[in-house]
A = this chain, B = another copy of it.
Amino acid sequence: MSELITPSVADDELALLIDLYQLTMTQAYWKESLHETPTTFSLFFRKLPASRRFILACGQQHAAAMLSQLRFSDTAIKRLQDTQMFDAGFLDWLANWRFEGDIWTVPEGTPLFPNEPLLEVDAPIGQAQLLESLVMNLVQLETTLATKAARITWAAGDHPVVDFGMRRMHGIDAAVRGVRAYKTAGIHGTSNVLGGLRHGLALNGTMAHSYILAHDDERDAFRAFARHYANTTLLVDTYDTLTGVERVIDLLREAPSLTVGAVRLDSGDLGGLAKRARALLDDAGHPDIKIIASSGLDEHSIAELIDDEAPIDAFGVGTQMGVSADAPVIDLSYKLVEYAGQPRVKYSTGKVNLPSRKQVYRRQDAQGHYCGDVIALRDETGLDGEALLTPLVKGGELQTATLTKAENAPARVREALHHFPSHVTALEEGESRYTVDLSPALRDLASNV
Q: Which residue on B lies nearest to A23, using beta carbons?
A: B193
Mark contacts of A1-26 with chain B using CB atoms, 8 A cut-off: 1 yes-contact digit, 0 otherwise. Answer: 10111111111011011111111110
Task: Select which of B62, B210, B319 is within 8 A of A129 by beta carbon.
Answer: B210
Flag if B164 contacts A19 (CB, 8 Å).
Answer: yes
Contact partners of A311 in chain B: CB under 8 A = none
Contact partners of A41 in chain B: CB under 8 A = 210
Cβ-based interface call for A136 (8 A): yes
Contact partners of A21 in chain B: CB under 8 A = 191, 205-208
Q: Tell me the complex Cα distance, A22–B133, Å.
A: 36
Looking at A98-106, A299-307, A341-349, A377-385, the stretch in contact with chain B turns out to be: A341-349
Q: Which residue on B lies nearest to A68, using beta carbons?
A: B5
Contact partners of A140 in chain B: CB under 8 A = 167-171
Of A66, A197, A344, chain B has the most CB atoms within 10 Å of the CB of A197
Cβ-based interface call for A47 (8 A): no
Contact partners of A144 in chain B: CB under 8 A = 170
Task: Select which of B3, B9, B203 is within 8 A of A172 by beta carbon.
Answer: B9
Flag if A171 contacts B174 (CB, 8 Å).
Answer: yes
Flag if B214 contacts A125 (CB, 8 Å).
Answer: yes
Looking at A150-158, A224-232, A248-256, A429-437, the stretch in contact with chain B turns out to be: A224-232
A-side residues, CB < 8 A to B, are: 1, 3-11, 13-14, 16-25, 27-29, 31-32, 34, 37, 39, 41, 62, 65-66, 69, 79-80, 83, 85, 125, 129, 132-133, 136-138, 140-141, 144, 164, 166-178, 191-198, 203-214, 224-225, 228-229, 237-239, 241, 266-268, 319, 322-325, 328-329, 331-332, 334-336, 339, 344-351, 400
Flag if B346 contacts A25 (CB, 8 Å).
Answer: no
CB of A92 to closest CB in B, whole Å? 17
Contact partners of A339 in chain B: CB under 8 A = 213-214
Can you list 9 contacts pairing A with B, beta carbon distance less than 8 Å? Answer: A16-B197, A18-B193, A24-B228, A28-B224, A137-B167, A213-B344, A214-B336, A238-B346, A267-B351
CB of A70 to closest CB in B, whole Å? 9
